[in-house]
Amino acid sequence: MRRELFPSSAFTRSVKRLGKKDRAAFAAIRSTLSILAADAFDARLGSHKLRGNLVGFWACKAGYDLRIVFEITKQNDQEVILLVSVGTHDEVY
Protein backbone atom coordinates (compact mmCIF):
# COMPACT_ATOMS: atom_id res chain seq x y z
CA MET A 1 0.00 0.00 0.00
CA ARG A 2 1.53 3.28 -1.09
CA ARG A 3 1.57 6.01 1.57
CA GLU A 4 2.55 9.64 1.33
CA LEU A 5 5.62 10.68 3.35
CA PHE A 6 5.60 13.80 5.57
CA PRO A 7 9.01 14.76 7.00
CA SER A 8 9.15 16.55 10.35
CA SER A 9 11.47 19.54 10.68
CA ALA A 10 13.79 17.44 12.89
CA PHE A 11 13.94 14.77 10.19
CA THR A 12 14.76 17.34 7.52
CA ARG A 13 17.57 18.84 9.64
CA SER A 14 19.02 15.37 10.30
CA VAL A 15 19.01 14.48 6.61
CA LYS A 16 20.82 17.72 5.73
CA ARG A 17 23.40 17.09 8.46
CA LEU A 18 24.00 13.53 7.31
CA GLY A 19 24.16 14.60 3.66
CA LYS A 20 26.98 17.03 4.39
CA LYS A 21 28.98 14.39 6.26
CA ASP A 22 28.37 11.34 4.08
CA ARG A 23 27.00 11.32 0.52
CA ALA A 24 26.55 7.52 0.63
CA ALA A 25 24.29 7.85 3.68
CA PHE A 26 22.22 10.46 1.86
CA ALA A 27 21.77 8.09 -1.10
CA ALA A 28 20.84 5.23 1.24
CA ILE A 29 18.19 7.39 2.92
CA ARG A 30 16.67 8.39 -0.43
CA SER A 31 16.52 4.76 -1.53
CA THR A 32 14.97 3.68 1.77
CA LEU A 33 12.34 6.43 1.61
CA SER A 34 11.31 5.24 -1.84
CA ILE A 35 10.79 1.70 -0.54
CA LEU A 36 9.08 3.00 2.62
CA ALA A 37 6.53 4.98 0.61
CA ALA A 38 5.72 1.94 -1.51
CA ASP A 39 5.53 -0.57 1.37
CA ALA A 40 6.44 0.31 4.96
CA PHE A 41 6.77 -3.38 5.79
CA ASP A 42 8.98 -4.47 2.90
CA ALA A 43 11.40 -7.12 4.21
CA ARG A 44 14.41 -5.06 3.04
CA LEU A 45 13.54 -2.37 5.59
CA GLY A 46 13.34 -4.53 8.69
CA SER A 47 10.51 -2.35 10.01
CA HIS A 48 9.73 -2.93 13.67
CA LYS A 49 7.66 -1.38 16.47
CA LEU A 50 9.52 0.56 19.10
CA ARG A 51 9.17 0.32 22.87
CA GLY A 52 9.98 2.47 25.86
CA ASN A 53 9.95 6.22 25.23
CA LEU A 54 9.17 5.61 21.54
CA VAL A 55 6.02 3.48 21.95
CA GLY A 56 3.70 4.05 19.00
CA PHE A 57 6.56 4.67 16.57
CA TRP A 58 8.24 2.36 14.08
CA ALA A 59 11.82 2.17 12.84
CA CYS A 60 13.45 0.79 9.72
CA LYS A 61 17.00 0.32 8.49
CA ALA A 62 18.50 2.76 6.00
CA GLY A 63 21.97 1.25 5.97
CA TYR A 64 24.32 -0.61 8.26
CA ASP A 65 23.93 1.75 11.23
CA LEU A 66 21.30 4.21 9.97
CA ARG A 67 17.72 4.10 11.23
CA ILE A 68 14.62 6.03 10.27
CA VAL A 69 11.96 6.50 12.95
CA PHE A 70 8.44 7.03 11.65
CA GLU A 71 4.80 6.99 12.65
CA ILE A 72 1.89 5.70 10.60
CA THR A 73 -1.00 8.08 11.10
CA LYS A 74 -4.18 9.21 9.36
CA GLN A 75 -4.70 12.41 7.45
CA ASN A 76 -7.93 13.07 5.59
CA ASP A 77 -8.98 9.41 6.05
CA GLN A 78 -5.79 8.14 4.43
CA GLU A 79 -2.80 6.51 6.10
CA VAL A 80 0.36 8.59 5.81
CA ILE A 81 3.87 8.22 7.19
CA LEU A 82 5.26 10.94 9.43
CA LEU A 83 9.07 10.81 9.29
CA VAL A 84 10.26 11.63 12.82
CA SER A 85 14.04 11.24 12.83
CA VAL A 86 17.00 9.67 11.10
CA GLY A 87 20.46 8.86 12.37
CA THR A 88 22.66 6.15 13.76
CA HIS A 89 21.21 3.52 16.04
CA ASP A 90 22.47 5.36 19.14
CA GLU A 91 21.26 8.78 17.93
CA VAL A 92 17.64 7.86 17.29
CA TYR A 93 17.03 5.43 20.15
Got the DSSP string for 18-70?
Answer: HHHH-HHHHHHHHHHHHHHHH-TT-TTTT-EE--GGGTT-EEEESSSSEEEEE
Nearest-angstrom CA–CA distance, 14 and 61: 15
Decide yes or no: CATH 3.30.2310.20 for domain 4-92: yes
Per-domain residue ranges of the chain: 4-92
pLDDT-derived band at 5, boundaries 50, 70, 90: very high
Q: What are residue 2's phi and psi, to 5 degrees?
A: -80, 130
| Amino acid 44: pLDDT | 96
| Amino acid 23: pLDDT | 87
